[in-house]
Amino acid sequence: MRSSLRVIPSLAVGQQMADSLLEQARRRFENDRYVALRSLIDDDLAAMLYGHIQRRVEAGNIPQSQSHGMDASLEDFADSLMEHVLKGVQPRVEELCGLKLYPTYSFFRLYRTGSTLRHHRDRPSCEISVSVNLGPKLETPWPLWVSGPQGAKAVELAPGDALLYRGVECEHWRDRFEGEELAQVFLHYVDQDGPYRDYKFDQRPALGMGPHTRGALTEEPGAPKPAPRVSEPEISGTE
């Protein structure tokens, strides 16, 4: 009986600590407009997703990056597995940022030696963004720089770690990559009650569909018209 009584307070304390950490993350996101998240996904999932990208590389069906500064990289929009991850982590992202969200799209990139990322902000579909490190673990971390109201900071991420940030507001960039390769997946959302809510699914009919379907939405009587499309930036609206 006494041993079971000892367990109950420990569980309560654990929950209190979790609640405290969640509140800290929310405050940091609100104040800084970004927050680093340790182990957003577990090691096994990160390794599985990295392996999936490697198998696609071996199959030769990942497009070469069209983004400025990304000539050495490979990337893809709305990979079917990454779209599942986009939807799967949404409840946790909502909990961390304190907002109800619509998913817009996923995007992965395999950085290679010589890759850089210019200073930029993202397009409307990336209002709430999550950049997740999939691996491998690097001997020398390659930081993602992000600038918010409190200034610029270099954020180092291990596999499974992520940066939650307001992509439309926060300028972000990376210096030249000196490692061999690094896989990253970008998960994008919009606030259901925010100014970019019409970018749900990135203005596609549904998740999992290609960029050519943007704007192919069925209009319902009385529904608000989608916001005008903005020109695509050189960077594909991701990290």
Residue environment code for 2-19, b if the CB has 16+ CB neighbours within 10 A, otherwise e: eeeeeeeeeeeeeeeeee
User: Whose CA is closest to 161, among 126, 134, 129, 188?
Assistant: 134
Domain ranges, residue 199:
31-213
Structural domains of the chain, count: 1
Query: Is residue 221 a part of any domain in this protein?
Result: no
- CATH number for 127: 2.60.120.620
What is the pTM for the complete model shown?
Answer: 0.84
Do residues 161 and 133 touch, judged by C-beta distance below 8 A?
Answer: yes
Query: Is residue 239 a part of any domain in this protein?
Result: no
Query: Is residue 171 a part of any domain in this protein?
Result: yes
Query: Is residue 9 a part of any domain in this protein?
Result: no
User: Is the sign of the CA dihedral 200, 238, 187, 110 positive or negative?
Assistant: positive
User: Whose CA is closest to 171, among 118, 103, 217?
Assistant: 118
Q: How would you write the pLDDT of the chain (239 residues) with one tens digit per residue? A: 443 333 444 445 456 667 788 899 999 999 999 999 999 999 999 999 999 999 999 998 887 776 655 567 899 999 999 999 999 999 999 999 999 999 999 999 999 999 999 999 999 999 999 999 999 999 999 999 999 999 999 999 999 999 999 999 999 999 999 999 999 999 999 999 999 999 999 999 999 999 999 986 543 333 343 333 333 333 344 56
Query: Is residue 23 a part of any domain in this protein?
Result: no
Tokens at residue 2, please? 């006494």
Query: Is residue 168 a part of any domain in this protein?
Result: yes
Tokens at residue 72, please? 């050495």
